[in-house]
Structures are given as structure tokens and as C-alpha cells.
Amino acid sequence: MPELPEVETVRRGLAPWIVGKKIKKIELVHKGGNRSSTYAPLSSVEGAKVENLVRRGKFLWFELNRDLALVAHLGMSGQFIIQRRSADVEKHLRVRIDCGDRKREIRFIDQRTFGWVAIDKLVREDDELIPQSFARIAPDIFDKKFDRTAVISKFQKKNSAIKRVLLDQSVMSGVGNIYADEALWRAAIHPERISKKLSEQEISTLLDAVSFVMSEALKQGGTSFDDLYINVNGESGYFDVELEAYGQEDEPCSRCGTQIRRITFGNRSSHFCPTCQPKRSAKRKDEAKKVRVKRG
């Protein structure tokens, strides 16, 4: 469910409650909140001070003053909530963290259990230490490590649908199904076009669209369709009203009026405007025309 803007909204909400504080207690309430293999029991970070709360793409890292990392991923339905200690235990409560506040605690709740909270070891990346689970994840578009030229050249080598590549977290992280569809719509690129057949200009336009749409969403506190995505105070984001493609099947495209279509591939839905986002690029269409003329 949550993509970069939603995870960043959570990070910003969580930071004041945990950064500079000690993890007094961390408790695995229910398995599933810890499905991914954990390097050590959660309790091994009790007593550690949280120096910083860092995000790469959709992954969160509680940077500690010890040789371990506390990491988390929200999966499809994970939530971090600031909750009164005395509040009833939620049905899908997985992990609770005592951050030293007298009245409140941090709770990790996850209905579908694709999310996790785990301990990771630290590994070297360039000249710094990062959690092992971050190592496979490419920097997101807002990261100072993001190398636009290198990313464009990765796109130009992928023999796969452009939408798949956008969702590939080892190329560029943070983009999920909503913002992939939104960015492709803005860049007027059909989701099934082959990545390496796009021009450098098209990929560049697409990256600008990714950046634009995710910054706009972040300003609105992310996208919420229901109470599965909420910030740490239980509030929804408002970007959903600005979606142009995702979830807009049969609605008119705001640029040309054509009905937005939904197709499925790669086990997910893609929404696009068949007119604005032709399957073949204008250039290729042009070439095909020439061939037809030649053949006469």
C-alpha cells in the first residue's frame, strides 16, 4: 500500500517520538510482524538510543548507537501508530515499542502481514554502514546518492515493460503501483512499452514526472483510499483526489477525454489513457508508416 510519499509521511511523524530517545522495550506481540528472517531477536536493541530515522525508498531504518540496525517495511498494510499505552490491543497489532513516553507508545499494526520489523546487521556501502536489507535497494529519486545519469542508463538496458522497471526497487526505489501509473500518465508513456526502446528524452521526462507526482503527494500527506493508509496520528492523506490514472478506469482522461483503461500484467493493474499513452511511440509509428508507404 504505502509508497515513498506515504512512508516518508510516517517517517516524519514518527521521528519526534523516537529520535534521540531510547528504546526501553520492544515487544513482538504477534508473529507475522516479524516474518522476514531477523538477524537477532527484537529485544537485542532494548536500551539502544535511536540516533536517526532514515528512509530509503519504502524501507525504514532506525539508526542506533550500537552495531545493529532496527529496520521496518510497511508492506501492503503496515502502519506505525502513536497510541495511548492504555488503548485496547488492535486485532493486527504486531510490535509495540516503549520509547519512554509516559502516556504513549509506538505500535506496528499490519493486517496482511506483508510488512515487518526486524533486526539487521550493518554492512558497508561505499564509505558508510547501512542495514543489510538496504543493500539491494537503489537510492530513491530524492536521495542525494541518486545518480540520474546512471539510472537512465539502467532503464536503457532493461528488456522489459517500462512499468516493471519503474517498480524494480534495484533500479530506483520508492515507486509503487499508484505513482508508477501516475508518472507514466504524466509522461504520456504506455506502461507496456519496452524500457530499452525508450529514448533518453522519454526516460528523462518520466523521471521528472516521478519526482513531481511524489513531491505533490507528499505535500498532501500521501494517498489514502481507506483507513489502511494513515499517518502516525491516524489521519488520512489527501492526494487521492488528484489521481489522474490510478483507479480511474472508465473515467475520462483529464487531458483528452478518452476513457482511462485498466489492464493487468505482472500480477498488477495498470491504468492508462489509450490516446495520450500510445503503445507505440510517435517516432515508431512514423517509421511504420514509412515502411508501409515504401512497400506501397
Partner DNA sequence: CATCGACCCTGCGGGC
Partner DNA sequence: TGCCCGCAGGGTCGAT
C-alpha cell at 293: 508507404
Minimum Å gap between C-beta 83 and DNA is 19
Closer CB to DNA, 70 or 178, in the complex: 178
Q: What is the CB neighbour count within 10 angstroms for residue 94? A: 25
Confirm or reject binding of residue 177 to DNA (CB under 7 A).
Answer: yes
- In angstroms, the CA 187 to CA 190 distance is 9
Site pattern 185..214 for DNA (x: CB under 7 A): ------------------------------
Q: Which of residues 11-70 bind DNA (CB under 7 A)?
A: 32, 36, 57-58
33-48 burial by CB neighbour count: b if 16+ within 10 A, else e?
bbbeebbeebeebeeb
Q: Which of residues 72-91 bind DNA (CB under 7 A)?
A: 73, 75-76, 91
Given the residues 3, 6, 8, 182, select the one marked as catalytic: 3
- In angstroms, the CA 266 to CA 214 distance is 23
Given the residues 58, 96, 164, 193, select the one marked as catalytic: 58
C-alpha cell at 54: 532514515
Closer CB to DNA, 6 or 23, in the complex: 6
- In angstroms, the CA 186 to CA 251 distance is 16
Segment near DNA (CB under 7 A), from 12-20, 98-106, 152-160, 284-292? 152-160
Segment near DNA (CB under 7 A), from 123-131, 142-150, 263-271, 274-282? 263-271
Closer CB to DNA, 26 or 138, in the complex: 138
Which residues are CB-neighbours of 224 under 8 A, at least 6 positions away? Answer: 230, 236, 237, 238, 240
Give the 3-state secondary structure of 192-227.
CCEHHHCCHHHHHHHHHHHHHHHHHHHHCCCCCCCC
Q: Which of 39, 114, 142, 238 binds DNA (CB under 7 A)?
A: 114
- In angstroms, the CA 271 to CA 178 distance is 9
Segment near DNA (CB under 7 A), from 139-147, 166-174, 201-209, 277-285? 166-174
280 assigned to active site: no
Confirm or reject binding of residue 107 to DNA (CB under 7 A).
Answer: no
Segment near DNA (CB under 7 A), from 145-153, 200-208, 262-270, 284-292? 262-270
Tell me the site size for DNA, rule CB under 7 A: 44
Helices (runs of H) and strands (runs of E) counted in the chain: 6, 12
Minimum Å gap between C-beta 164 and DNA is 5
268 assigned to active site: yes
Would you please indicate which residues are annotated as catalytic (active-site) residues? Answer: 2-3, 58, 268
